[in-house]
């Protein structure tokens, strides 16, 4: 069943678990993510980033997810990840996404507020949830989303309160020391800042840059209002490494390789679902 983000995050936020948002850009990734949700009895978020429009159109991605979710025994949210182009946001809403992330984090605060509010008005009228971001993440190793010039800027708790009150977003992505990609040094996750943000706002919080974040830090974040955790890089790295390993000993038919890769995705996703704590 396809649901919007709010339907998935409201119980997660209230009951202190997080729902995984896993980046998808191929049939294998969509199928592996939804299969992982089914095998664990857990709702999942299949995230399609504007960065992957070269892989498939919004409409094709939606058709795949809608067909897989119809058969699935768990709720599936189809979410547009990081998108700063409002035209693409509106096209995603028209294509049937249940949730969109408008990312105006690089804009001056007032402009980010104004654009996010406009997106919320349109999306909410269509039953679609909105995630927005305040602050910005640095980029680590092997990220396919971050750019070298991305700088870390922690989310300011008081600005977060003003932002949420003025925009009516359903979920807020925060910057507290995670990175897009794999950590180049030891992670320094600022749960003290997260705690202040959690006290200042009453919406589910979102942690980007899940890959490689230590389990203890993830648990500490979930206890402080994080209800959605994004994972991309580690799934890709796991599939590529296992595919390379497989091809040293076998040369399977491409159709068989596709099934094996779906399985690699599922295994990587299940690891994170186990950490995020839905029961």
The nearer residue to ligand 13P, 167 or 236, going by C-beta atoms, is 236
Choosing from 105, 129, 143, 175, the residue that interacts with ligand 13P (CB under 6 A) is 143
81 lies in the binding site for ligand 13P (CB under 6 A): yes
**Under the criterion CB under 6 A, does residue 172 sit at the interface with ligand 13P?**
no
| Part of the chain binding ligand 13P (CB under 6 A), chosen from 121-129, 194-202, 224-232, 261-269 | 224-232
Among positions 37, 75, 98, 209, the unique one binding ligand 13P when judged by CB under 6 A: 209
- Identify which of residues 1 and 272 has a Cβ nearer to ligand 13P in the complex: 272
Binding mask 145-164 for ligand 13P (x = CB under 6 A): x-------------------
Of 26, 115, 116, 232, the residue at the interface with ligand 13P (CB under 6 A) is 232
Q: Which of residues 4-23 bind ligand 13P (CB under 6 A)?
A: 23
228 binds ligand 13P (CB under 6 A): no
Question: Which C-beta is closer to ligand 13P: that of 43 or that of 146?
Answer: 146
Q: Which residues are catalytic?
A: 81
**CA gyration radius for the chain?**
18
Quick one: three-class SS letters along the chain? Answer: CEECHHHHHHHHHHHCCCEEEEECCCHHHHHHHHHHHHHHCCCEEEEEEHHHCCCCCHHHHHHHHHHHHHHCCCCEEEEEEEECCHHHHHHHHHHCCCEEEECCCCCCHHHHHHHHHHHHHHHHHCCCEEEEEECECEECECCCCCCCCCCCECCCHHHHHHHHHHHCCCEEEECCCCEECECCCCCCCCHHHHHHHHHHCCCCEEECCCCCCCHHHHHHHHCCCEEEEEECHHHHHHHHHHHHHHHHHCCCCHHHHHHHHHHHHHHHHHHHHHHHCCC
Question: In this complex, which beta carbon is closest to ligand 13P, that of residue 188 or of residue 250?
Answer: 188
User: What's the rounded Cα separation, in Å, for the pair 155 and 237?
Assistant: 29
Q: Is 82 in the site for ligand 13P (CB under 6 A)?
A: yes
Interface segment toward ligand 13P; rule CB under 6 A; list 24-32, 113-121, 188-196, 232-240: 232-240
Size of interface with ligand 13P, in residues (CB under 6 A): 16
Q: For ligand 13P, what does the binding mask look like between residues 236 and 265, x meaning CB under 6 A?
A: ------------------------------
- Contacts to ligand 13P from residues 83-142, by CB under 6 A: none
Taking the C-alpha atoms of residue 124 and residue 27, their distance in angstroms, rounded to an integer, is 29
The angle that helices 109-125 and 86-95 make with each other, rounded to 10 degrees, is: 20
Residue ranges in contact with ligand 13P by CB under 6 A:
23, 81-82, 143, 145, 180-181, 208-211, 230-234
């Amino acid at each position: 069943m396809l649901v919007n983000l709010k339907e998935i995050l409201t119980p997660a936020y209230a009951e202190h678990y997080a729902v995984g948002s896993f980046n998808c850009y191929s049939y294998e990734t969509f199928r592996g993510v939804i299969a992982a949700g089914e095998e664990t009895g857990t709702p999942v978020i299949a995230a399609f980033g504007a960065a992957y429009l070269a892989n498939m159109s919004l409409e094709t991605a939606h058709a795949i997810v809608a067909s897989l979710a119809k058969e699935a025994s768990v709720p599936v949210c189809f979410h547009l990840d990081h998108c700063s182009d409002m035209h693409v946001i509106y096209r995603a809403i028209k294509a049937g996404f249940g949730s969109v992330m408008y990312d105006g984090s690089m804009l001056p605060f007032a402009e980010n507020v104004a654009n996010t509010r406009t997106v919320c008005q349109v999306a909410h009228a269509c039953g679609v949830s909105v995630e927005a971001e305040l602050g910005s993440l640095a980029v680590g190793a092997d990220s396919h989303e971050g750019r070298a010039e991305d700088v870390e800027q922690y989310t300011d708790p008081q600005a977060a309160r003003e932002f949420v009150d003025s925009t009516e977003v359903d979920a807020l992505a925060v910057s507290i020391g995670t990175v897009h990609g794999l950590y180049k040094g030891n992670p320094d996750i600022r749960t003290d800042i997260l705690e202040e943000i959690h006290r200042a706002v009453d919406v589910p919080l979102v942690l980007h840059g899940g890959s490689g974040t230590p389990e203890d830090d993830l648990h500490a974040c979930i206890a402080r209002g994080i209800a959605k955790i994004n994972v991309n890089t580690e799934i890709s790295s796991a599939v590529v490494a296992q595919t390379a390993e497989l091809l040293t000993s076998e040369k399977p038919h491409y159709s068989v390789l596709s099934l094996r890769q779906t399985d690699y995705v599922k295994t990587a996703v299940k690891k994170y679902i186990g950490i995020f704590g839905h029961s």
